[in-house]
Structure 1
């Protein structure tokens, strides 16, 4: 999917609408869905769309708009690294998902992942800010305020230490997450099959 260059004069609400449309997330971004699909290679693995995830992903989606990272697999690894560098505040779901994403990114695209992490260390995330107020700000305003385009600089000792600690935590989260997927995936796959069956029946009824 092609990357979108969001005009800096757009409000975040306008940019969010474009982002949802381009990525086919639905009018509400999929926030109201009971299940979401996690791509495990070519296989979509459904898992529960918890309140904690929805609370975090609203900000996560705005970060995609502001940083320019894609929503493909590598892009998600990059933004995981960026968010860890910029800080996830008290958003537990963001920490869990991003630590696993960082570790996977270090294995599959180490240079891009480290570059995104260091960029995040020079930036500031939106986590914890009043969400609705952010939607009325412009893309350009928030990019400057968050310093997402700050000139790159070499890693500091603190950067290296935090990356090492996050990588170890990411390994632990990845192991636990894989076990969770093994347990939840069968339930999610059945749920997905039922949803598709209902959709086909609804399409047939309309025809």
Structure 2
């Protein structure tokens, strides 16, 4: 995972291209891939790259650029918490992934995750906005517009209540996701073995 700086004068299209490059996501961010890997520890567990996921992840990638959260494990848990706090509109796939990520984050890095959630509550996400138009906006404009630079403040009682409710919902999503991951783990093991075999063949050729 590489870190990148996104100058506020860049368009989102330009900043996203940098984000794709430094993270090794390919020219289109992997949106056209039939399968994507979910990391269960060191084990890649492949699952279908559905239209619902692609619809959500396009905005998710822009949020990485705007918020500064990286694509490390903790960074992904932080941005999941931020998106739950900021709201995912009618993007069901985003709610499903992020609620589970919120719970995982509260277990792995509780202070950072709670801070990201409350930061999201003070701003708003890009979900639901016309996507192509966002790419022509500058990083600085959108950062100010969605409030990602707002200073930390003591969370209101409503924010704490929403965190508690979201955490309860996330427990259910996390349990479901773990069950799916365990079922899919044998596929991941087979896939990892196949990739290593292909790499060895390519190196020997």
TM-score by length of structure 1 reads 0.92
Deviation at 1:158, TM superposition (A): 0.7
Call closer, same or farther: CA 1:32–1:191 in 2, change over 3 Å: farther
Matched, 1:147 2:124: no
Displacement of 1:42 in angstroms is 2.1
Counterpart of 1:55 in structure 2 is 55
Structure 2: gaps spanning 5 or more residues: none
1:187 shift after superposition: 3.0
2:14 is aligned to 14
In the alignment, which residue of structure 1 is the partner of 2:107?
A: 107
Matches within 5 A, 1:92-103: 92-103=92-103
The 2-side partners of 1:44 and 1:136 are apart by 34
Q: How far is 1:190 from its partner?
A: 3.5
Secondary structure in structure 1 of the residue aligned to 2:31:
coil
Counterpart in the other structure of 1:68: 68
Say whether the 8 Å CA contact 2:121–2:159 is kept in structure 1.
yes
In 1, distance between residues paired with 2:55 and 2:106?
A: 26
Contact 1:35-1:188 within 8 A present in 2 as well = no
* 1:161 counterpart residue number: 161
- 8 A Cα contact 1:87 1:125, kept in partner: yes
Distance in 2, Cα, partners of 1:171 & 1:107: 11
CA drift at 1:191: 4.6
**C-alpha separation in 1, matches of 2:121 and 2:195:** 41
Distance 1:155 1:2 in 2: 32
Question: Unaligned 5+ residue runs, structure 1?
Answer: none
Change (3 A) 1:84 1:23: same
3-state SS, counterpart of residue 163 of structure 1: helix
1:161-200 correspondence to structure 2 within 5 Å: 161-191=161-191, 193-194=193-194
Residue of structure 1 in register with 2:88 after alignment: 88
Distance 1:86 1:113 in 2: 13
Conservation of the 8 A alpha-carbon contact between 2:40 and 2:181: no
**Cα deviation, residue 2, structure 1:** 3.9
Give SS of 1:47's match: strand
Consecutive aligned runs of 4 or more in structure 1 exceeding 4 Å deviation: 191-205
Q: Distance in 1 between matches of 2:192 and 2:135?
A: 32
Cα RMSD, aligned residues only: 1.8
Q: CA contact under 8 A between 2:45 and 2:187: conserved in structure 1?
A: no
Equivalent pairs counted in the alignment come to 205
SS of equivalent residue, structure 1 residue 155: coil
- Partners of 1:189 and 1:55 in 2: how far apart? 28
Matches within 5 A, 1:118-129: 118-129=118-129
8 Å CA contact 1:47–1:188 kept in 2: the answer is no
Q: Distance in 2 between matches of 1:184 and 1:107?
A: 23
